[in-house]
Amino acid sequence: MDTMTYLAHKTTGLPKHRIIGMGGALDSARFKYRLAEALDAPISDVDGMVIGGHSDTGMVPLTSHATRNSIKVSEFLSEERLEQVKEDTKVGGATLTKLLGTSAWYAPGAAVSGLVQAIACDQKKMYPCSALLDGEYGLSDLCIGVPVILGKNGIEKIVDVPLSDAEKQHMAESAEGVKKTNALLEL
């Protein structure tokens, strides 16, 4: 998905803020579900985000920023349980594909619906989306999932959130994976 977003940037001539990949919104919904499950809490109590590449190995669930009603989930869950939540999130799409033959059911539609509503209603809502980076997160000429503000103009701002050292490392590894896939394009 990140490489398709990159290809659209390189071939369409559309403005940068109008090309948006939705993988992070989908991955974040799965992350919040897994956190709520681990916390035995309603999903409405949970906030969390996944950045990085939209792949099993590229996802970077931001456990350092995940909360239950503004309290860090690390106050409720052990490091081991948080690691399990991250791993379960990463294989969510593959698990559905194994069971159902595809993972493109309700979740992708719901994710896109949220993005479209944020743009159409000028909500200035933050979502993790694949966006073309120009120095953000130390990356350039690459589309990868990062937090963005969506409004009537599409991507109105890329939000550079502080990452833990481990999250920085995972993001760098994710970017390398996306770059390898991008290198297969014949532009």
Q: What are the residue ranges spanned by the domains of the chain?
A: 2-182
| Mean pLDDT in residue range 15-29 | 92
Nearest-angstrom CA–CA distance, 29 and 132: 22
| Mean pLDDT in residue range 114-139 | 96
pTM: 0.88
- Angstrom distances, CA of residue 105 to CA of 56, 86, 98, 182, 185: 18, 22, 13, 26, 28
- Angstrom distances, CA of residue 179 to CA of 2, 141, 142, 148: 10, 9, 7, 21
pLDDT score at 102: 55
Q: Is the pLDDT of residue 139 over 80?
A: yes
Place of tokens 């579900």: 33
pLDDT score at 55: 84
90 vs 51, residue with greater confidence: 51
- The CB-side HSE value for 95 (13 A sphere, CA atoms) comes to 7
Q: Is 54 a catalytic residue?
A: yes
Ranges 50-59, 94-103, 135-144, 175-184: which has the least confidence:
94-103
Question: Domain spanning 2-182 has what CATH number?
Answer: 3.90.110.10
Instruction: Please pick, among 9, 54, 65, 170, the residue that the annotation labels catalytic.
Output: 54
